[in-house]
Amino acid sequence: MYDHILFDIADSVATITLNRPDKLNALTIEMSQELVHAQKQCARESGVRCIVLTGAERAFSAGQDLQEFQMLEGRATVGDHLRRGYHRVVMGFRQLEKPVIGKINGVAAGAALGYALATDLRIASDKASFVPAFIGIGLAPDSGASWFLQQLVGPAKAFELLATGVRLDAQEALRLGIINQVVAPKDLDSTVSELAQRLAMGPTRGIGLTKRVLNKAVGHNLADTLEYEAQIQDIAFNTGDHKEGVAAFLEKRPPQFSGR
């Protein structure tokens, strides 16, 4: 069905794999289109309750395919290229009201660093690395890398990383708060799979609304956020999973969340 990604749904978890391993899964226009298509399917299908984003073989992704990039010259502005492709993918992950795990199996560079940071939490192999590669080719950050990094590490560190393009190993990324966990390569599949299953069995609407409120809180003051939280809680309060959670607590049994 797709040429540049793999897409698989099993046990309520959708796995999207960036799949151009001979080019370190470098990003193309076609890959962006396929990612947007897959994101829409994940949003639409109630049977999908968690999404995992990863790369095939040794890399997560080397960012924009620089050969394709050269061919684009003169055809569209870079800004339009970003708007049509990367922006839709990044916003797609942020607006998907289901948990998205970044399974960072290898290097994540340039725009692919933006994709990794657009996930909700990141589990990395200790072979993974993070390269804000934009500056290496004389570009400024895009794909949300400036926004995400500044949120995660603060402005001074974000500037240092983006202006030097330094390659961070997984342990350093963990220390800086860029990722959630580092595991041995042999444990990456099982760690992510267990987490994905746990999230997929959770109250999906409540998790989605949590994501919505966190997205909104950035850039708003406390008073506005309190009001928005109240509006969101009205929605969460009316879900079946909320009723089930309360009933299970009172009946002293584990909850059976349905995602509704």
Let me know if 87 is a catalytic residue. yes
- CB of 120 closer than 8 Å to CB of 101: yes
Stretch that binds ligand T3D, among 13-21, 88-96, 128-136, 252-260 (CB under 6 A): 128-136
Residues 6+ apart with CB under 8 A from 249: 255
Rounded alpha-carbon distances, angstroms, from residue 194 to 49, 101, 187, 189: 14, 11, 11, 9
Stretch that binds ligand T3D, among 4-12, 104-112, 195-203, 241-249 (CB under 6 A): 104-112
Return the structure tokens found at 76: 């569209």
Q: Is 117 a residue that touches ligand T3D (CB under 6 A)?
A: no
The contact mask relative to ligand T3D for 194-223 (x = CB under 6 A, - = no) is ------------------------------
Torsion angle of C-alpha atoms 246, 193, 96, 21, degrees rounded to 10 = 180
Stretch that binds ligand T3D, among 11-19, 103-111, 194-202, 243-251 (CB under 6 A): 103-111
Q: Which is nearer to ligand T3D, 24 or 123 (CB)?
A: 24
Q: Phi, psi at residue 181, to the nearest 5°?
A: -160, 145
Q: Is 164 a residue that touches ligand T3D (CB under 6 A)?
A: no
Q: Is 67 a residue that touches ligand T3D (CB under 6 A)?
A: yes
Terminal alpha carbon distance of the chain:
29
Q: Is 168 a residue that touches ligand T3D (CB under 6 A)?
A: no
Compute how many other C-beta atoms are within 10 angstroms of the C-beta atom of residue 172: 15
Applying CB under 6 A, the residues found at the interface with ligand T3D are: 23-24, 26, 62-67, 69, 78, 81-82, 107, 109-111, 131, 133-134, 136-137, 139, 142
Q: Known catalytic residues?
A: 87, 142
